[in-house]
Amino acid sequence: MDTNRINTTLVDVKVDNKQVLFIMLDNKGAINRIGDGSPDCEATDLFTGNSSQNGFRELLTLVNEDMVQFCGNIYDIPDKEGRTCEMTVMFSGIDIETGFKVIYGEHSQGPPRPVVDYVIKAVALTEKWYLQKVASK
């Protein structure tokens, strides 16, 4: 996948169908975020804004063959322990509309490492901005 054609990326994490993290970044600097991704996150406020330093291009450096191989699929990891978790990653842009979902147990095997790394990086790149928005609420 040519990452130069990606205009928007989205990360969504739910625990027992409750959204605990939502991040959307685009190539024009937009940031949308809800929550911190912790399993018991109670945050429901959607913070939106723009930043020339939204980290979009830096995040896309993690989109490699290891990530692309998951696109177009839903992975339901067996032998779930704990609450059911769903992690969705999406990409859209010029002739691109794809992504994937991983369903796993809170206390069992989680998503593959490239997926986890992508979500962790998305959180890290938006954390300072998000905390400023929460503090000024």
Domain chopping of the chain, boundaries: 3-135
pLDDT at 33 over 90: yes
| Average pLDDT value for residue range 57-70 | 92
pLDDT at 51 over 90: no
Question: Quick one: pLDDT at residue 52?
Answer: 79
> Strand order in 30-34's β-sheet?
47-50, 30-34, 18-26, 6-15, 84-93, 96-105, 73-76
Provide the CATH topology of domain 3-135. Answer: Mago nashi protein (3.30.1560)
pLDDT at 4 over 90: no
Which tokens hold the place of 115? 């997926």
**Confidence class for position 132, pLDDT limits 50, 70, 90:** very high
Average pLDDT across the chain, whole number: 94
The rounded percent of the chain whose pLDDT value lies above 90 is: 87
Question: Quick one: pLDDT at residue 114?
Answer: 93
pTM of the model: 0.94
56 vs 27: CA distance, rounded Å: 6
106 vs 5: CA distance, rounded Å: 34
Which residues lie below 8 Å from residue 125, measured CB to CB, with a gap of 6+?
Answer: 25, 54, 55, 58, 59
pLDDT at 54 over 90: no
| Average pLDDT value for residue range 105-109 | 93
Cα 9 to Cα 32, 38, 63, 101, 118, distances in angstroms:
11, 20, 11, 14, 11
Cβ–Cβ < 8 Å for 22, 12: yes
pLDDT at 25 over 90: yes
pLDDT at 60 over 90: yes
